[in-house]
Amino acid sequence: MAERVRVKTMMPPGHVRTPAYLRGKTGTIERPLGPFANPEQLAYGLPADKQPLYRVRFSMAELWGEAAECPTDTLDAEIYGHWLEKV
């Protein structure tokens, strides 16, 4: 059973790499990708912490509800660990 995670709903301003359309959506971890420097610090010329990065898979039904073209199609995105919470 793949690990289920939810993307945080927060909407801070500034440079983040978590798309708005995924905020608050639940998916499963497709694979861990390892630690990568946090872009939210790199973008401002700050020393960057390493964050674990994950490929998270969402169903189109989860993202778009009734409006999904095909509910079982999927969307994969890379999300940093500090944007995810366990479900």
Partner 1 sequence: MSDTDGRRWHDMGGQDAGPVCADDHDFALWEKRVDALMVLCGAKGFFTVDGLRRALEDMGEDAFDKMSYYERWIAAINQNLIESGAYSLAELGTRMEEIAARGPTYAEAQERKHG
Partner 2 sequence: MPHDHHDHTGLSPSGHPYRADNDAPLTYWQRMEIAVRELMIEKGHLSAAEVAAQIDAMDARSPANGAAVVARAWSDPAFKARLLENASDACREMGFDIGTLHLIAVENTPETHNMIVCTLCSCYPRNLLGLPPDWYKTREYRSRAVREPRAVLREFGVDLPPATTIRVHDSTADMRYIVLPARPAGTGQMDEDALAALVTRDSMIGTGLPRTP
Distance CA 44, CA 67 (A): 37
Nearer to partner 2, 28 or 36 (CB): 36
17 contacts partner 2 (rule: CB under 8 A): yes
Tell me phi and psi for residue 65, to 5 degrees: 60, -135
Residues 6+ apart with CB under 8 A from 25: 6, 7, 58, 62, 63
Nearer to partner 1, 33 or 42 (CB): 42
Identity of the residue, 3 or 17, whose beta carbon is nearer to partner 2 in the bound complex: 17
Binding residue for partner 1, selected from 20, 69, 72, 86, defined by CB under 8 A: 20
Contact call for residues 63 and 25 (beta carbons, < 8 A): yes
Q: Which residues bind partner 1 (CB under 8 A)?
A: 11-15, 19-22, 39, 42-45, 63-64
